[in-house]
Copies of this chain bind each other. A is one copy, B any other.
Amino acid sequence: MELSKIKSSLEDGLLSFPITDFNHKGEFNTETYAQRLEWFISHDVSSVFVAGGTGEFFSLSATEYEQIVNISAKTVAERVPVISSVGRSTSEAIAFAKIAEKAGINALLLFPPYLTECPQDGVFEYAKTIIQNTSLPVIYYNRGNGVLSAEYIKKLADVCPNFIGLKDGTGNMQDLNDTIKTVGKRLSYIGGVPTAEIIAEAYLSIGVNTYSSAAFNFVPELANKFYKSLRAGDKATVEEITKSFYIPLVRLRGKKNGYAVSLIKAGAKIIGKSAGDVRPPLTMPTDGEVEELRQLIEQNK
């Protein structure tokens, strides 16, 4: 796929992050996953990020990853770009990248290293090594122990032509603004905090036109309406949906670590599009919380 098509899909449109389907044994379910992707594409999405955070990348085996990228590339079939995650360690990330490339994935989302505290120049080397070992375009996910400063993001952009985008996972507007003003149009910028819609206006104000929409998994029309209203400058609708849906969702999410993903799987079940339960170390919401979510969905129909 042409780079310009990938870039423009990242800079304008709804970026969708499908949850990963597990069957009742907790194994990856190719069939329902393919159906989910079709359903995603049937709505207006600019790109599909598979095996992302919402897709429990952190819990997938290499075998499952291969199944996911294969079925994704095959199902989406170049209609929109498909981006898959890589990370964990330099060698594993490179191995994941090879699997993705072979499957026909269009770009990669690079996650931070596993566990260890690490310095700026070390994270830079980690990212550089991985990006230089793939021919695919790469988006770096600035998050957790792998957060890079504006200066290192710039350096990475200077030495890696296929480093094309930055996904922010921090919500730190000061540092993000520094980065964007310093690095400029060389990169595409994506908002990537949990339930990113809650700060979408702030993101947009500094040049982050798109964001990861996890809620799209269970309220696709609403997620789309929100995005379009945001971009059209329809502040009244943005405010209305924020108040009626995203604020209650964010407050529910705040009840337990990991609910940024768990609630999405619960929502998918509620609308009859179950992808099974989350895997440990995540846990599904309680019955009471599921009921709260059900009412929230109901009220926003």
Contacts and interface: CB of A to CB of B under 8 A. Distances in A.
A201 interface: yes
Contacts of A283: 119, 121-122, 125
Is the contact region of chain A dominated by helix, strand, or loop, or is it mixed?
helix
B146 A281 contact: yes
A198 interface: yes
Contact of A118 (B116, B243, B257): B257
A250 interface: yes
Interface stretch (A67-75, A86-94, A100-108, A215-223): A86-94
The copy count of this chain in the complex is 4
Contacts of A181: 239, 242-243, 247
A160 to B, nearest CB: 14
A125 B201 contact: no
B59 A280 contact: no
Interface string A161-191: 0000000000111100110011000000000
Given A58-B114, A116-B58, A122 B205 contact: no
List 10 tightest A-B contacts by C-beta distance, closest first: A118-B281, A205-B205, A125-B280, A202-B202, A122-B281, A126-B281, A126-B280, A61-B91, A117-B257, A201-B205
Given A61-B91, A123-B281, 15 more contacts: A53-B116, A59-B91, A60-B91, A87-B115, A116-B282, A119-B282, A121-B283, A122-B258, A122-B281, A122-B283, A126-B280, A171-B172, A177-B199, A177-B202, A181-B243
